[in-house]
Structure 1
Amino acid sequence: MSYDFRDKVIAVTGGAGGIGSAMCRRFASGGAQCVVVDIDEVRAKKVAEELPGGGHFGVGCDLMDWAQIEQLFERIGEEYGRLDVLVNNVGMTSTERFDERDIASIEREITLNTTSPLVTTRLAIPLLWKSRDPRVISTVSLAGIFPQGETPVYCASKFGLRGAMLSIGLDLREKGILAGSVLPSATDTPMLRQEAVEGGNSMQFLEPPQQPSDVVAAVVSMLDKPRLEAYARPSESFSARLAMLVPNLLPKILPFFRKRGDRGVVRYLEDLERRGLARRNGGSWELVPER
């Protein structure tokens, strides 16, 4: 059965980003009332104002500040009296290598990517229990299955979030709340574009990046058919899980794929250039500032 979005209250963290805003547009087009949550309050309100239908609002919230999360749900309670779906979509990454990173940046990435969705989910439960059909969906990543040498902190955060959401999904199911995760691979968003120009993990570019709409489709499929995990590209997830059956072979396997990934990065940057999103600057690349 197709999920009925009409009059549902859905909160999306990271809601002003590429994937988050695409989710909000899809939910609102189906008749949902969206709460666009983002650290950038101006962008959150802009996204909310441009959504079809009515009853939406955008709110600025630092999701590493637990008091602000509590205030967020207090406001949602005042506005709607319940929450039908929470989508934990916020996330960050860095192209800094592990041996060069400062400790504060490691702590920040783990906190935002792992601890924050858990705290957000926990604080949302009283409002979710007021829904007739409460759901929680978290955006994890294939990096929650497959290690990436260039981004170990990101992988650690996503491995942790995946495991936590599997456990939470099992626990809350018995209490009336359906929880699961979507695990997308590299997605064409501002975060990935920044990673590409800064020389991030080339293994993400073995195939052309998927679009935010692909991730949205995976989220909608989870609402249509609740389960613990869904994948935007099932074939990639199968390959990743297969490779992890023999992790000790990874040092021998990965070099064969890295050259292909390096070529994929070049193709992606050239595509961004054609789209007016990136440009060459001497021997390097840079993003074109948004207007």
Structure 2
Amino acid sequence: MTDTNHVGNHKLAFISGGGGAIACEIAIQLDKAGYHLLLSDINLEKMTSIVSKLKRKPELFVCDQTNPNEIQSLIETIKEKYPNIDVLINNAGYTKEGPFITQTDTDIQRQLWINLISPIKLIHGILPLMLKRGKGSIVSIVSVGGIIALADSSIYSAGKFGLRGFLTALYEEVKHTNIKISGIYPSAVDTPMLLHEALNGGTALNWINKVQSPKKVADAVLLGIKRGTLEIYVPYSDGLVSRLVAVFPWLIGTLSPILKWIGERSKRKWLAEKGIQIPTKTNLE
């Protein structure tokens, strides 16, 4: 058993999906703020690449967030070695683009586990530690996809809609304690996952507005840790539009043709800035 005193007087923050671009920015900012970090990811190599960017060496945990046994093992380790955890950040996310009818059982299970079930299980395991200490912050990166449901992202939307509902209810349950609950709602973020969507049939609606940097999301996470605001939008303007569409969901279908045209044009420009050209219909004809 590791002595919890080895982290000194530093606060403890756990980040799932710890090898990703957004996690890297969050880790850098928390490291500068004096936190000792616990990172988990299915890919050890990706997490290891972040270590050199930090002042303090983080603790790394390999965990498949579609595997309930591995999730529970991670929770038990945190309970045993890091009971004084201050911050839990649910950052891991996954999407498999395409029509619902083409999704396999594995596709469905993977998206629901990573986007909904595993964040809930991690909170269920770690929240009691925070309640016992009388303080703590829980921040989950949800996505505007948890407010607006788009074609070809039905399972992703189901998971993110569910996570938003869960966080809203949990916020009400603990609002009279010193536990802060925040959900972060970014639109498209410049990550490898977005690039994969761009090159593999992801909806052009992701590119209607300016693609956000991972740092902007990390800034929102730190704001959530500090203030405990239930919903933080990145950018704020997207929150206004998305909530309007949530009230009138038929708007997306009505405006879809022109929105897709705008998004497709923006997507091509975004890819071109990365040195990637994709053929237009004219080129294919």
Q: TM-score, normalised by structure 2?
A: 0.89
- Tell me whether 119-128 or 63-72 shows the greater mean CA deviation: 63-72
Gaps of 5+ in 1: 1-5, 284-291
Give the Cα separation in 2 of the matches to 1:267 and 1:101.
29
Stretch of structure 1 that moved more, 65-74 or 236-245: 65-74
Residue by residue over 1:192-211, the C-alpha shift from the partner in whole angstroms, topping out at 9 and shown as x without a partner, is: 01110112110010123100
Q: 1:76-225 to 2 correspondence within 5 Å?
A: 76-225=78-227
| Equivalent-residue separation in structure 2 for 1:81 and 1:119 (angstroms) | 16
SS of match in other structure, 1:244? helix
Mark the CA change 1:52 to 1:163 in structure 2 (over 3 Å): closer, same or farther. same
CA contact (8 A) 1:113 1:157 kept: yes
Q: Distance in 2 between the 1:15 and 1:131 partners?
A: 25
Per-residue CA distance 1:219-276 (angstroms, 9 max, x = gap): 1111222221111111011011122332234322221211001101111111121xxx
Contact residue 182 and residue 225 of structure 2 kept, 8 A: no
- The offset of 1:130, in angstroms, is 4.8
| SS of match in other structure, 1:69 | helix
Q: Is the 8 A contact 1:89 1:139 kept in 2?
A: yes
User: Which residue of structure 2 lines up, in the alignment, with residue 11 of structure 1?
Assistant: 14
- 8 A Cα contact 1:44 1:60, kept in partner: no
Look up the SS of the partner of 2:274 in the other structure. helix
AA in 1 matched with 2:204: S
> CA 1:259–1:26 in structure 2 vs 1: closer, same or farther (change >3 Å)?
same
1:246 to 232, 245, 248: 248
Could you tell me how far 1:99 is from its partner in structure 2? 2.2
Return the letter of the residue paired with 1:253.
Answer: L
Provide runs of 4+ in structure 1 moved above 4 Å.
278-283
1:33 maps onto 2:31 in alignment: no
Is the 1:39–1:60 Cα contact (8 Å) retained in structure 2?
Answer: yes
Aligned-residue identity in percent? 27
Q: Distance in 2 between matches of 1:73 and 1:87?
A: 14
Deviation, 1:64, is 2.1
Say if 1:46 and 1:58, in contact at 8 Å, map to a contact too.
no
Q: Matched residues in 1 for 2:245 and 2:128: separation?
A: 40
| Contact 1:38 1:61 (8 Å CA) reproduced | yes
User: For the Cα contact (< 8 Å) 1:42–1:60, is it kept in 2?
Assistant: no
Q: Distance in 1 between matches of 2:215 and 2:251?
A: 34
Contact 1:19 1:215 in 2 (8 A): yes
- Report how far residue 282 of structure 1 moved: 11
The answer on whether the counterparts of 1:85 and 1:135 sit within 8 Å (CA) in structure 2 is: yes
CA shift digits 1:150-206 (9 cap, x unpaired)? 211111111111111111111123344221201010000000011101121100101
- In structure 1, the residue matched to 2:61 is 59
Aligned to 2:235: 233
**Is the alpha carbon distance of 1:184 and 1:177 closer, same or farther for their aligned partners in structure 2, counting shifts above 3 Å?**
same
Alpha-carbon offset, residue 79 of structure 1:
3.8
Between 183-192 and 63-72, the greater mean CA deviation after superposition: 63-72
Give 2:26's aligned residue.
Answer: 23
2:271 matched to which residue of 1? 269
For 2:138 and 2:94, the matched residues in 1 are separated by 20
SS at match of 1:231: strand
Q: How big is the shift at 1:216?
A: 0.6
Aligned length: 273
CA distance in 2, matches of 1:135, 1:249: 35
